[in-house]
Amino acid sequence: NAGVMQNPRHLVRRRGQEARLRCSPMKGHSHVYWYRQLPEEGLKFMVYLQKENIIDESGMPKERFSAEFPKEGPSILRIQQVVRGDSAAYFCASSQERDRAYNEQFFGPGTRLTVL
Amino acid sequence: AQSVTQPDIHITVSEGASLELRCNYSYGATPYLFWYVQSPGQGLQLLLKYFSGDTLVQGIKGFEAEFKRSQSSFNLRKPSVHWSDAAEYFCAVGAGTGGFKTIFGAGTRLFVKA
């Protein structure tokens, strides 16, 4: 059973370009979470999605950032008009259906975004 | 507001020595608590978790952690450190309904000297 997959692993963009980060959850998982890790900091929650629904986006910047998890295909975190401050590692996690109080989140290897 | 504090940014221990990494949390209800390890350039691996029950939790790689409600702490321990344990360690609390919104501490980087 493959783990959470993220691609690309490294992404370089110039200021003003768009960045698209992809996350394929573990098989059987229908919940996806995105986190951002700035240099020398812990991970910060951004958004929680189920298939075709955004459940909580309280950690997502209001502008330039968007996320989706379509019925088919991976979850996408999209950053428009990137700025140098967007340089960070972006981690995706997935979990099973929430049929109990808590479902463990399994993390992917991350995408390291560098904005020049 | 929920928060996690890891007071030690860096810790250096000798190989074979014991280890304790400190973690304090702030959370109104009974917390879901976690310790993760992150090797350079890698994702996070779950070491152990606490939901309820026995306050001493055993994890992988010989790690354990003790939940102390009175001190709002969840310290990570290992009796004998190996060089391969050198990594960054994150304490986290699961917040939000069902604990889905994991809140991480800033991390403690562990260095192991021969």
pLDDT in tens, B96-105: 666 678 889 9
CB spacing of B99 vs A102 below 8 angstroms: yes
Please name every residue paired with A106 in a beta bridge, in sequence order, or none if there are none: A94
CB spacing of B51 vs A101 below 8 angstroms: yes
By the 8 A CB rule, do A42 and B105 touch?
Answer: yes
Q: How far apart are CA A6 and CA A25, in angstroms?
A: 9
pLDDT band at A100 (very low <50, low <70, confident <90, very high): low
What percent of chain A has a predicted confidence (pLDDT) above 90?
74
By the 8 A CB rule, do B109 and B11 touch?
Answer: yes
> In this structure, how many other beta carbons lie within 10 angstroms of the beta carbon of residue A98?
16
Q: How far apart are CA A94 and CA B38, in angstroms?
A: 17
* Sign of the torsion angle spanned by Cα atoms A40, A41, A47, A51: positive
Residues in chain A with CB shorter than 8 Å from the CB of B41 are 112
> In this structure, how many other beta carbons lie within 10 angstroms of the beta carbon of residue A15?
11
Q: How far apart are CA B83 and CA B87, in angstroms?
A: 10
Q: Nearest chain A Cα to B4, which residue? A: A42
Phi, psi of B95 (to 5 degrees): -110, 180
pLDDT in tens, B2-44: 889 999 999 999 999 999 999 999 987 778 899 999 988 778 8
